[in-house]
A = this chain, B = another copy of it.
Amino acid sequence: MAQEVTVVAKEKAESRAVGLRFAKIDAFAKVTAESEYGPDIELPGMLVGKILRSPFPHAKILRIDTSKAKSLPGVRAVLTGDDIPVKYTFNYAERQTGTKIVEEGKSEESALRGLMPPPRADKYPLARGKVLFVGDEMAAVAAIDEDTALRALSLIEVEYEPLPALFDPEDALKPGAPLIHEDFKDNMAAHLKGDWGDVEKAFKESDQIFEDSFSTQHQHQACLETHGCVCKWDVDGSLTMWSGVQTPHTIRLEFSKVLGIPESKIRLVSKWVGGAFGSKNELEPFMIICAQLAKTARAPVSLILTREEEFAASGCRHPYKVTVRTGLKKTGEIQAREVKFVVDKGAYMAQGAAVAFFAICYPSASLYKPKAVRFDAKIVYTNKQPPSAYRGFGNPQATFAIESQMDMIAERLGLDPVKFRILNANRPGDITAHGFRMPKSTGLIECIERATKAINWYEKKANRVPNRGLGLACLIHSTGERGAYGDIEGSSCTLKVNDDGSATLFVGTQDLGTGAWTVLAQICSEELGVRFEDIKVIGGDSDLPAFDLGAYASRSTFTGGNAVRIAAVKMKEQIFSLASELLGVPESELDIKNSEVFSKNKPGVKTSLYNVAKYAYYGAGKPKNLITTGIFDTPSTLMDPETGMWKEPGPSIAYTFACHAVEVEVNPETGKVKVLEIAAAHDVGKVINPTTAEGQIEGAALHGLGYAISEDLRIDRGVTVVKDFRDYFIPRASDMPKIDVIFVEMNDPNGPFGAKGIAEPALVPVAPAVANAVYDATRARVRNLPLTAEKVLGEMMRTKK
């Protein structure tokens, strides 16, 4: 299924690790069900926690009576809003943590000053005064078993006064609309607005200007493991939480503010994660509730969301209304671009502004090269469940609009959509309107060429089959993102060579099932020269001697991998120093491969790493330390708050590029879209492990296919009507089209062995590529995701009229 451009055979013979198809290091534990996920934790005396949720989209709470619930035998704690009277920012409270804030005791102006709103607290863990969406957390209980907990929930009496509710962000913006949060006077959670470059001039210099509008739906992460946690307080007042999350260190940072205890008094254990995709990025209300239940009940509490709660009150992707206005020269060069977003934020802010800003910075301003960019993003409260971070982080919504419009423009101007994109593609060294420098590893054009070649683009175009069509779409995505949490984009690790010459790697990097730890072990093996199978990775615990901002923004391989590489380089110095004593040759003459240290000059002068380790631990006669640390912070930059622009290189120093070319067949009777083939060409830099990289791309492409044609978390007048997987249509294995994974290995000079990010990208270009292919097959341009049979057929009928 996959095509590779990497040549690894030679290296394999030398047992080097990068580029080889090792099985994931957690494969055995997972297939034998030895991997213990959050809900599998059993602690003595552990209680079951349950949450009572609002049945109204918007209502005043007139009265809560928990007395009956409290007196039910077996109930150990009942909480309402007044028990946790901490209003918090739900998610990105600490995003702007710089020392200056702390020093001066006031909120520092944002690194995105003038653009990003300061974080404002808008959420109580349990509602106080009002409920704002169907599913809003109202009360909670901890009891000796699930039945008792559910019975206790049913005994909590709440008297509501329903209030007029808002379900459409444009309704919410109308003057006189009811207010969802009284302190947000126009229901506007945030408004990002600005120009990069001389937008007026750029539009004036355009020969043609096109404006088109698009919209996208709620999509849900639909992780196999629902959200949940186990909380236990220790006698010293510290909290341990077991929960599968993406960001143990930053969740703990936010948690400490809410709980009012130091960060280090919270230990977050997250060894196994049953899917995340952005939904396990942040401190969630259920975590705070569970911690408080455990504190009140003086016992460990397990709180696991049901599938119904998971769909109705956790995660999901922000729906966008997008208007793109593009000015071009007759010959096709893009001059100016304006994007307008209206974002359905639901009841609470979470990362709404950050997600919108990413959509502005990347697809809108960086995928091609407009000379000037204007943006206007309204993030609007509604009485619906609040969307979260989600694989792609705003990129899928905007790329759907932009890449759909690119095809529409190409047709209007009579341009070949492939050549039109190549014409406007960024090249190495280009600087965007907002100051991002395109690195040496910029391979977008190569991706376009490779994807269209793989799918036989021109041949198929020349030999058209009825009801079939071809489409393509491109992508740019960051590899990490400076500014998410203060002025850092870093990761650290500790490396130990054990007394048997094996290595243990303590990492801050999370592995969400992506293979991140496998890749880190390969990087360690490659750099250190230790056999891959002799490396043990220990991670997923905030108490380890390691730190990482989290597994988001496709950053783990790049940032964590560089940290590992640095630790390995330092370790080699130690090893060579010891081996030099043992072998009697200078350190400079030594190399290590396959756990054997040898002289590069004198054949046969060698010793095993086992011997070196034994010497260090038991024989050297003086201190020899086989523990090293590695820390890496990308040399990226924050936006200059004065200009709103970046100085080189920008918030990410490496970018992943991709082009997907797809072929679809549309049933002319029903409008049903069948994707026949996806040629996915990805410039991900050096591929550390082709198998896991293919897995990421294939999985993400299928994930994107769901976004394109079937997934829709329908919310009807505030009620999430999707309750389980019978209602929510993620693609199944049988829906899998042929996927050609094509690696364009534009090795990045800053990446570990040239690697760049890989996790999110392949989801993004699928929907516009499919929409473009459907148009190619049918002349029906669907501007609203997903491309259900009904919508495609409707558009086909409208077009035929």
Contacts and interface: CB of A to CB of B under 8 A. Distances in A.
A34 interface: yes
A619 B97 contact: yes
A623 B629 contact: no
- Name the residue in A28, A97, A546, A617 with the highest tally of chain B Cβ atoms < 10 Å from its Cβ: A617
Interface in A544-565: 545-547
Contacts of A536: 264, 543
A164 interface: no
B631 A98 contact: no
Given A264-B504, A486-B619, A494-B494, A629 B631 contact: no
B620 A500 contact: no
A73 interface: no
A611 interface: yes
A669 interface: no
Interface string A127-146: 00000000000000000000
A256 interface: yes
Interface stretch (A99-107, A651-659, A739-747): A99-107
Given A500-B263, A622-B633, A617 B488 contact: yes
Interface string A84-111: 0000000000100111101100000000
A632 interface: yes
- Name the residue in A44, A622, A623 with the highest tally of chain B Cβ atoms < 10 Å from its Cβ: A623
A784 to B, nearest CB: 40
Contacts of A487: 618-621
A499 interface: yes
Contact of A614 (B99, B494, B506, B629): B99
A627 interface: yes
Contact of A488 (B235, B263, B619, B629): B619
Contacts of A256: 500
A496 interface: yes
A612 B610 CA distance: 40
B102 A496 contact: no
Interface in A617-646: 617-625, 627-629, 631-633, 635
Interface string A27-44: 011001010000000101
A384 interface: no
A11 interface: no
Given A545-B545, A633-B622, A499 B263 contact: yes
A534 B102 CA distance: 19
A160 interface: no
A607 B100 CA distance: 11
Contact of A498 (B102, B264, B496): B264
A288 interface: no
A14 interface: no
Contact of A618 (B97, B543, B632): B97
Interface range, A side = 35 or more
A535 to B, nearest CB: 10
Contacts of A162: none
A625 B234 CA distance: 29
A194 interface: no
A485 B615 CA distance: 12
A257 to B, nearest CB: 11
A627 B494 contact: yes
A488 B618 contact: yes
B620 A504 contact: no
Given A32-B235, A487-B621, A499-B263, A614 B102 contact: yes
A236 interface: yes
Tell me the interface secondary structure of chain A in the complex: mixed
A422 to B, nearest CB: 37
A492 interface: yes
Contacts of A502: 262-264
Given A499-B253, A502-B262, A631 B621 contact: no
A582 interface: yes
B611 A99 contact: yes
A32 to B, nearest CB: 5
A572 interface: no
A631 B623 contact: yes
A28 B263 contact: no
Contact of A235 (B28, B98, B236): B28
A506 B492 CA distance: 16
- Name the residue in A487, A499, A547, A620 with the highest tally of chain B Cβ atoms < 10 Å from its Cβ: A499
B44 A97 contact: no
A770 B754 CA distance: 74
A377 to B, nearest CB: 26
A361 to B, nearest CB: 20
Interface string A213-240: 0000000000000000000001110000
A392 interface: no
A267 to B, nearest CB: 9
Contact of A249 (B94, B499, B620): B499
Contact of A492 (B100, B498, B627): B627
13 contacts: A29-B235, A29-B236, A98-B618, A99-B611, A99-B612, A103-B607, A486-B619, A488-B618, A494-B494, A494-B627, A621-B633, A624-B631, A627-B629
Given A98-B615, A98-B618, 5 more contacts: A94-B618, A98-B614, A263-B498, A494-B494, A625-B631
4 interchain residue pairs of minimum CB distance: A486-B618, A99-B615, A98-B619, A263-B500
Interface of A: 28-29, 32, 34, 42, 44, 94, 97-100, 102-103, 234-236, 249, 253, 256, 262-264, 485-488, 490, 492, 494, 496, 498-500, 502, 504, 506, 534, 536, 538, 543, 545-547, 582, 607, 610-612, 614-615, 617-625, 627-629, 631-633, 635
